[in-house]
Every structure is written in C-alpha cells, then in structure tokens.
C-alpha cells in the first residue's frame, strides 16, 4: 500500500539557517502530496500542497516540489526563524486504491534556536 | 461553520467506561476522517467517510471502536470499554476531496485512568 517516509528528528538549527526535511513516498498512480505543521500545543495545519508532478507548493517561505522521478517531496526554507519550531508531517492522498485516505509520515520535529 | 469543531476538548474517563467523541465538519465537506495521535507517536488513521459510500474502517484498532456519520455531516467516534492504551488525542478532519487540503479540528484529548 501507499506509504510516506520522513527523515527522523529532532532537527535543531540556528536562526536564519537553511532547512531541508526529506520526504519520500511509495504510491501507485498519481497521489497528491502535502506538508502539515503542528505548532506546540496546537492542531495540525496545512502548510502547502502539490497535486501533480513538478508542481511546487509554497507558503510562509517554505517550498516543496513534487518529484515523481525520485518519489520525493522535500520541504525547504531558506532562512528559518524561531517561530518555525514545530513538528512537520509529510502526507499523501489519492493514487492507487487508497481512495481519499490521508497517509502521514512519522513527523519531524524542528527546533530553531536564536 | 468556519472550521472543524470537536467536542469535548478534553475527556478523562475510567477504564472500562464508554466514551463518545463528536466532530462537526466544515459545511459542504463530503469527506470526514478520524485520526489518533499518541504521545510521541505519529498520526494513526482510524476511519474515513466519503459521501454516501461505505466508510473505510481499515484503521480501527479493535471492535471496541466504532464511528458513524449522520446525514453526511456530524460524526461520532465511540470507544467502548476504554483501556489505558486508548489514551491519545483524537483528531477529526474534513475536506472537499482528496486533492484539496484537509482541515483538522483541535482534537479531543482522551485520558483513561
């Protein structure tokens, strides 16, 4: 079945550092890909999405490009801030016989130090 | 409503009791999902409703768990004879379709003592 694998955390960076959180997926068909963020004490929020190959999702300075050839959707940000400290989840839906079920990676905790 | 509403926000129950968790999705969203997030764990899929189709119950961990969605809107997740390992945050989400964003509620934190 479909699955999502993220790099393990926690990831600790200094403010203004470059961020990459790796995400790869396994799916048949053409799934949609998402990044969700969970700030401390809050619920899950959609950060960005991409629905087809080579699409780039972007929001709040974060970007991720849907790479079908490498089955990846890595999250990047050029300059992180302390306020970006959160848990980031990569997810997919659709494709194959999974229907609309949203399948999550295990989450990557990001801690940004001033 | 403007967002996905879940109630109660917190629930403490004694082991062996039944609990009901409620989810009000965004009006017009045909798809509704329940997930569970345990401390230090990822997100575990429980059940998925899409329109009038039969729900995908493949994630329910045992027959003590059940869910229904009445009138294509409000959903109730019921856990019978609760166990301590059921303690978690139960999240509900709704969406228009699998290529749209999913909007999550704030969750119900269930503690079984």
Residue A112 has pLDDT above 70, yes or no: yes
Q: Where are the alpha helices (DSSP H) in chain B?
A: none
The whole-angstrom distance between B68's CA and the closest CA on chain A is 17
Closest residue of chain B to A103, computed from CA coordinates: B45
Looking at CA atoms only, how far is residue B18 from chain A in angstroms? Answer: 25
What backbone phi and psi angles, to 5 degrees, belong to A95?
80, 140
Write the residue in B42, B45, B103 that is nearest to A101 by C-beta: B45
Q: Do B42 and A107 touch (CB under 8 A)?
A: yes
CA atoms within 13 A on the CB side of B87: 11
Q: Reply yes or no on whether the pLDDT at A109 is more than 90.
A: yes
B97 → closest Cβ in A43, A100, A104: A100
How far, in Å, are A11, A34, B11 from residue A2 at the CA level? 26, 14, 33
A49 chain-B contacts, CB cut-off 8 A:
101
Q: Which residues of A touch B25 (CB under 8 A)?
A: none
Q: What is the mean pLDDT of residues B42-71?
A: 91
* pLDDT class of A96 with cuts at 50, 70, 90: low
Q: How many CB atoms lie within 10 A of CB B99?
A: 17
Residue B39 DSSP one-character state: T
pLDDT over 70 at B78, yes or no: yes
Mean local confidence (pLDDT), A77-105 = 86
Tell me what pLDDT residue A13 has. Answer: 97
Q: Which residues of B touch A34 (CB under 8 A)?
A: 101-102
pLDDT of B89 strictly over 60: yes
Separation CA A104–CA B104 (nearest Å): 14
**pLDDT over threshold 60, residue B1:** no
**Residue A2 or B16, more confident:** B16
How confident is the model over B21-42, as a mean pLDDT?
90
The whole-number average pLDDT for the span A1-24 is: 94
Q: What's the confidence (pLDDT) of residue B66?
A: 97
pLDDT value at A44 more than 60: yes
Cβ-Cβ pairs closer than 8 A, A with B, add up to: 56
Chain A environment of B36 (Cβ under 8 Å): none
Q: What is the pLDDT of residue A2?
A: 85
Q: For residue A95, is pLDDT > 70?
A: no
Q: Which of A83, A96, A82, A77 is nearest to A31 (CA)?
A: A96
Which residues from B are below 8 Å from A43, CB to CB?
91, 104-107
Q: Per the CB < 8 Å rule, is A101 touching B42?
A: no
Confidence category of residue B2, pLDDT binned at 50, 70, 90: confident
Which of B50, B98, B104 is the closest to A44 by Cβ? B104
pLDDT (mean) for B6-21: 97
């Amino acid at each position: 079945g479909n699955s999502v694998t993220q790099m393990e955390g926690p990831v600790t960076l200094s403010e203004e550092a470059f961020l990459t959180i790796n995400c790869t997926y396994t799916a048949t068909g053409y799934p949609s890909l998402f990044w969700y963020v969970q700030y401390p004490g809050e619920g899950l929020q959609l950060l960005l999405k991409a629905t087809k190959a080579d699409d780039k999702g972007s929001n709040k300075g974060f970007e991720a490009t849907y790479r079908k050839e490498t089955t990846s959707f890595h999250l990047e940000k050029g300059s992180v801030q302390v306020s970006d400290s959160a848990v980031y989840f990569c997810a997919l839906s659709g494709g194959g016989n999974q229907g609309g079920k949203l399948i999550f990676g295990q989450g990557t905790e990001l801690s940004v130090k001033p | 409503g403007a967002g996905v509403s879940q109630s109660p926000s917190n629930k403490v129950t004694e082991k062996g009791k039944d609990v009901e968790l409620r989810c009000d999705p965004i009006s017009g969203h045909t798809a509704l999902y329940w997930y569970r997030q345990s401390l230090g764990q990822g997100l575990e899929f429980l059940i998925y409703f899409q329109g009038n189709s039969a729900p995908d119950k493949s994630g329910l961990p045992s027959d003590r768990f059940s869910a229904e969605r009445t009138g294509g809107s409000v959903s109730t997740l019921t856990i019978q004879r609760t166990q301590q390992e059921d303690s978690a945050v139960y999240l509900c989400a709704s969406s228009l379709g699998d290529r749209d964003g999913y909007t999550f509620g704030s969750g119900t934190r269930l503690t079984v003592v």
